[in-house]
């Protein structure tokens, strides 16, 4: 043992100082990389929070990539401008959401406030644009298509989301309200009151559509059960978020935990839900049989019961 130690010491003395310095730098680099990886995956909100967001968003982007060739063929054959535009927006927002989910550590890293606020602003605004444009398009009826429907849909959605972006920019960069930085911040009453108003508006819109569906004006709405299942899910999610923001604004720690849980659900599962509701039939149905699918859904929903009376 003594001889081996003497041999190792002699060998180190024979090596040039540059080699020893390089080896030391490599060791420091390795330790630093390991520390960064640990912070990226475990710090801020914790492992399960980060892992759920990253895995769910990555799987959906991977699914879109695997289906890209088949989807491109359907888009080329169908030549639906609305579907093409919406599919492109879905791809863009999915990549933004994957980046948002992957860089959660930025939220708790000093000096990354600006980058995190910009990434969060673009990601949440893109997802809101998909929400609003889906409602604006489907409320025109299942047969809406072409440039006219696309223009109406994108103009309405663009105006609403543009106003939302403007207000958020003023709040975050003008007044310094940390809308997108959660941490353990459940004491900023101004911030949570703003989120209460935001969630209240979304809950009211989805609730109004559900009210129309159960009223005598439901024939004016699209007769697709999948659409109303989507509206029901989004109404429930926004109602829970509204409740959570209200509790947090009053200092309840449970409200903050509930709000964080709904944020995870939204960023992890909203885009797949949107795809299933609006695009899955277009890409999965063979040929041009969507009319039969819509007719079957309308019949199951009871829209033709009056014809038998």
pTM (2 d.p.): 0.78
* Residue 191 resides in a domain: yes
Phi/psi-derived region of residue 302, left when phi > 0, alpha when psi is between -120 and 50, beta in every other case: left
pLDDT at 37 over 80: no
Please state, in angstroms and rounded to a whole number, the distance separating the CA atoms of residues 144 and 134: 12
pLDDT at 69 over 90: no
Please give the average per-residue pLDDT across 255-268, as a whole number: 94
Would you say 206 and 242 are in contact if contact means Cβ atoms under 8 Å apart? no
Mean pLDDT of the chain: 79
Q: Give the alpha-carbon dihedral of 210, 212, 216, 222, to 10 degrees.
A: -90
| Own/partner long-range contacts of 177-183 (Cβ < 8 Å, ≥24 apart) | 179/117, 179/120, 180/107, 180/116, 180/117, 180/120, 180/121, 180/124, 181/107, 181/113, 181/116, 181/117, 182/45, 182/107, 182/256, 182/260, 182/263, 183/44, 183/107, 183/108
pLDDT at 15 over 70: no
More confident residue, 287 or 103: 103
* Residue 175 resides in a domain: yes
* Residue 85 resides in a domain: yes
* Residue 227 resides in a domain: yes
pLDDT band for position 154 (50/70/90)?
confident
pLDDT at 302 over 70: no
pLDDT band for position 86 (50/70/90)?
confident
Report for 63-77, 168-182, 220-234: range of highest mean pLDDT: 168-182
Q: What is the CATH number of the domain that holds 265?
A: 1.20.1070
- 38-53 confidence digits (pLDDT tens): 555 666 778 888 899 9
More confident residue, 70 or 88: 88
Instruction: Provide the pLDDT for residue 181.
Output: 83
Instruction: Provide the pLDDT for residue 240.
Output: 97
Structural domain of 87: 42-286
pLDDT at 36 over 70: no
* Residue 189 resides in a domain: yes
* Residue 33 resides in a domain: no
Instruction: Return the residue matching tokens 């998909």.
Output: 130
Q: Which two tokens stand for residue 135?
A: 């409602």
- 88-146 confidence digits (pLDDT tens): 999 999 999 999 999 988 888 888 889 999 999 999 999 999 999 888 876 765 445 55
pLDDT band for position 309 (50/70/90)?
very low
Instruction: Provide the pLDDT for residue 21.
Output: 46
* Residue 138 resides in a domain: yes
* Residue 210 resides in a domain: yes
More confident residue, 92 or 11: 92
Instruction: Provide the pLDDT for residue 39.
Output: 58
Question: What domain count does the chain have?
Answer: 1
Q: Which two tokens stand for residue 62?
A: 């991977």
Instruction: Provide the pLDDT for residue 144.
Output: 53
């Amino acid at each position: 043992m003594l001889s081996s130690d003497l041999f190792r010491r002699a060998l180190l003395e024979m090596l040039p100082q540059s080699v020893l310095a390089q080896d030391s730098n490599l060791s420091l680099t390795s330790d630093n990389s390991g520390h960064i990886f640990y912070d990226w995956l475990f710090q801020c909100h914790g492992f399960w929070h980060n892992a759920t967001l990253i895995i769910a968003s990555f799987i959906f982007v991977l699914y879109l990539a695997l289906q890209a060739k088949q989807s491109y063929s359907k888009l080329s054959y169908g030549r639906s401008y609305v579907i093409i535009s919406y599919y492109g927006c879905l791809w863009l927002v999915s990549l933004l959401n994957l980046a948002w989910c992957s860089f959660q550590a930025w939220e708790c890293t000093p000096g990354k406030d600006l980058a995190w606020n910009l990434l969060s602003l673009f990601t949440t605004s893109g997802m809101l644009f998909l929400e609003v444009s889906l409602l604006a398009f489907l409320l025109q009826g299942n047969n809406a298509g072409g440039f006219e429907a696309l223009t109406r849909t994108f103009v309405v959605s663009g105006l609403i989301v543009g106003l939302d972006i403007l207000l958020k920019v003023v709040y975050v960069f003008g007044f310094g309200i940390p809308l997108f930085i959660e941490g353990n911040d459940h004491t900023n009453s101004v911030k949570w009151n703003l989120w209460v108003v935001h969630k209240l508006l979304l809950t009211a819109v989805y609730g109004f559509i559900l009210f129309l569906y159960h009223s005598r004006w439901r024939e004016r709405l699209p007769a697709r059960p999948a659409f109303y299942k989507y509206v029901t899910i989004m109404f429930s999610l926004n109602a829970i978020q509204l409740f959570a923001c209200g509790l947090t604004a009053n200092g309840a720690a449970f409200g903050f935990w509930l709000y964080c849980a709904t944020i995870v659900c939204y960023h992890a599962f909203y885009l797949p839900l949107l795809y299933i509701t609006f695009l899955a039939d277009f890409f999965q149905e063979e040929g041009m049989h969507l009319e039969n699918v819509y007719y079957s859904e309308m019949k199951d929903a009871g829209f033709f019961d009056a014809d038998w009376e």
